[in-house]
Amino acid sequence: MSAKNIKQRDITDCGAACLASIAAHYKLKMPIARIRQYAGTDKKGTNVLGMVEAAQKLGFEAKGVKGTTDSLAKIPLPAIAHVIIKQQLHHYVVINKVTKNEITVMDPADGKTYRKTYEDFTSEWTGVLVLLLPTETFT
């Protein structure tokens, strides 16, 4: 089951768009603008701590972790991965599916889903993940 495809509004919105996508997956519609406020998004974007805090305000149990390629098959999905695009742009994507051959991600830059080989994914991935599970108080 995949998170909803959501396109970011501007270059700093990728983290908020990823959270909105996962919230929508669990049937919670939340405006990106509100998630930006929860996450403390500024002109540089959103840091991992802001992502975790915003996810908690939305009713998720959330934590930022450093993972390995081997750990990807074991994480709860959907999850958020921190990537660096073209070796300079810090960005977040939603991991929707992990198989033995590929990783399916939703990229909020264009709101589209992509299937990537492990090699392609790990060439951009920093190893940082934001893991989310809805709590009993999920609204």
Helices 14-25 and 32-39, interaxial angle, to 10°? 120
| Catalytic site includes residue 18 | no
Residue 30 identity:
M
Both tokens assigned to 65: 């972790």
CA distance 114 to 107: 7
Residue of 14, 55, 95, 98 with catalytic role: 14
Phi-psi region of 45 (alpha: psi -120 to 50; beta: other; left: phi over 0): left
What stretch of H or E contains 15? helix 14-25
Catalytic residue set: 14
